[in-house]
Amino acid sequence: MYLERHNRNTLTQTLYRALLYDPHIVTRYNERDDNLMLITYFKNPPGRVLRRKWSAEWRVLPNLESWINYFKPNENNLKNEFYYDIDYQNIGNFHERTKVMYPTDNSLIMATRYQVGEVERLRYKIVKEGVVFGMLDG
């Protein structure tokens, strides 16, 4: 087992460097010793490509098509206590699809596609040796 102890400054710097590469994070709190265990790790799948998808809950009144696509299969959308009075065509649902690529030169390339209603945006982020390059298609 590998264990590191940090003061506030070195912990902040170490986490910042790790979070640049979009790691998976696992935390556990130990009540007995009053400490937090924090694990960051990276999946490096075969083919060196990882895909993720995220969708937000629906917050505007839907039309029939949106009801069938988003409300019927997802009970969380029905449990919303409030809805915004905004045209669903302007907002709709929020989606994010990310493709994470791990080239052999120890860099990271993230291609993220955002969809808000009918509008799509692309964002590319490249991290190499702690330097971040990015581009937003808009």
pLDDT-based confidence at 1, cuts 50/70/90? Answer: low
- What does pTM read for this prediction? 0.57
Tokens of 77: 């959308």
Sign of CA dihedral 83, 87, 90, 92: positive
Q: Alpha-carbon distance 57 to 95, whole Å?
A: 10
Per domain, the residue ranges of the chain are: 1-42, 43-137
Tokens of 66: 């949106």
54-85, pLDDT tens digit by residue? 776 766 777 777 778 777 777 776 776 666 67
Please name the helix (run of DSSP H) or strand (run of DSSP E) that holds residue 62, with its range, or none.
none
67 and 94 Cβ atoms separated by less than 8 Å: no
User: What is the mean predicted confidence (pLDDT) over 106-114?
Assistant: 87
20 and 131 Cβ atoms separated by less than 8 Å: no
**138 pLDDT above the threshold of 60:** no
Length of the chain: 138
pLDDT-based confidence at 114, cuts 50/70/90? Answer: confident
Tokens of 86: 């905004």
